[in-house]
Amino acid sequence: MIQHNDYFDLLKNNREWASEKLKSDPSYFKELGLPQKPKFLVIGCSDSRVPITSIIESEPGEIFVHSNIANQVNLTDINLLSIIEYSVEILNIEHIIVLGHYKCGGVKAAVEGLNEEDIVENWVSQISDLYHLHRRELELIPDKGKMYDRLSEMNVVVQLKNLLRTPIIQRAFRKKKKLWFHGWIFDIYTGLITDLILPLDEWKEYDLLPEDYFSAK
Query: How many domains are contained in the chain?
Result: 2
User: Distance (Å, rounded) from C-alpha 179 to C-alpha 91?
Assistant: 12
pTM, two decimal places: 0.89
Q: Which is nearest to 147 in space by CA: 171, 127, 162, 167?
A: 127
pLDDT of residue 118: 79
Based on the domain organization, do 17 and 106 belong to the same domain? no
Q: Is 47 known to be catalytic? A: yes
**What pLDDT, in 10s, does the model give residues 68-116?**
999 999 999 999 999 999 999 999 999 999 999 999 999 999 998 877 6
User: Distance (Å, rounded) from C-alpha 193 to C-alpha 151?
Assistant: 16
pLDDT of residue 116: 67
Based on the domain organization, do 14 and 74 belong to the same domain? no
Domain enclosing residue 153, as ranges = 36-216
Based on the domain organization, do 24 and 85 belong to the same domain? no
Based on the domain organization, do 19 and 124 belong to the same domain? no
Candidate list 6, 9, 25, 49, residue with the active-site label: 49
Q: Is 187 known to be catalytic? A: no
Based on the domain organization, do 74 and 15 belong to the same domain? no
Confidence of residue 132 (pLDDT cuts 50, 70, 90): very high
Three-state DSSP class for 139?
Answer: coil
**What pLDDT, in 10s, does the model give residues 142-185?**
999 999 999 999 999 999 999 999 999 999 999 999 899 999 99
pLDDT of residue 34: 86
Candidate list 66, 104, 149, 150, residue with the active-site label: 104
Inform me whether the pLDDT recorded for 138 exceeds 80.
Answer: yes
Q: Is 49 known to be catalytic? A: yes
pLDDT of residue 6: 81
Based on the domain organization, do 18 and 73 belong to the same domain? no
**Residue type, position 57, single letter:** E
**What pLDDT, in 10s, does the model give residues 26-35?**
999 988 898 8
Based on the domain organization, do 1 and 28 belong to the same domain? yes
Q: HSE (CB half, 13 Å, CA atoms) of 98? A: 24
CB atoms within 10 A of CB 148: 21
Q: Is 212 known to be catalytic? A: no
Based on the domain organization, do 5 and 51 belong to the same domain? no
Candidate list 45, 66, 149, 150, residue with the active-site label: 45
Orientation angle between helical segments 144-165 and 167-174, nearest 10 degrees = 50
Q: Are the beta carbons of 13 and 67 closer than 8 angstroms?
A: no
